[in-house]
């Protein structure tokens, strides 16, 4: 009887620890290559869900958010993209170049130096403008089906890559 009680206590403790951790972090497996070369298909990542409780998102953060794109009949897709514009920013894309508030962005993380599109938008309050690093294949804020991402749709920030093992580390 004592062994069963100890086993149940260990199980309960383990479940509490896992539940507590899941409040703060969440693992995810990448499907698709819209963030190549920063993140590749089948990378196993850890989403950190706490920092945005205390601070606003920042330029360059790689985030996971709930989109309006259907994954299946029951839920919408989570997407991973990079924050390019914050509330009130003026984002322009002209002749393959991205600018924020009139300044051309240096984007060493992109797969190619050219960004398709021709737009000039102001990011609404409580939203961000996002782009994938692989602009040729990314569905991001340039696509009306994705558009601006409301801050309350952000699930968290990509923190660490756990797989492949030769690329373990912080994602930037």
Catalytic residues: 34, 81
Dihedral class, residue 2 (left if φ above 0, else alpha if ψ from -120 to 50, else beta): alpha
Contact of 118 with 81, CB cutoff 8 Å: no
Dihedral class, residue 47 (left if φ above 0, else alpha if ψ from -120 to 50, else beta): beta
Sequence-ordered alpha helix ranges (H) in 25-112: 51-54
Dihedral class, residue 101 (left if φ above 0, else alpha if ψ from -120 to 50, else beta): left
């Amino acid at each position: 009887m004592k062994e069963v009680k100890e086993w149940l206590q260990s199980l309960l403790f383990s479940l509490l620890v896992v539940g507590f951790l899941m409040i703060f972090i969440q693992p995810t497996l990448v499907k698709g290559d819209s963030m190549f070369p920063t993140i590749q298909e089948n990378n196993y990542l850890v989403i950190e869900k706490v920092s945005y409780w205390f601070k606003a998102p920042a330029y360059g953060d790689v985030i996971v958010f709930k989109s309006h794109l259907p994954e299946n009949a029951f839920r919408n897709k989570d997407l991973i993209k990079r924050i390019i514009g914050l509330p009130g920013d003026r984002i322009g894309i002209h002749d393959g170049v991205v600018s924020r508030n009139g300044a051309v962005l240096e984007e060493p993380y992109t797969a190619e130096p050219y960004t398709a599109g021709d737009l000039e938008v102001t990011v609404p309050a409580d939203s961000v403008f996002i782009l994938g690093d692989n602009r040729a294949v990314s569905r991001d804020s340039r696509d009306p089906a994705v558009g601006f991402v409301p801050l309350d749709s952000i699930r968290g920030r990509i923190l660490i890559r756990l797989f492949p093992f030769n690329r373990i580390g912080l994602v930037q």
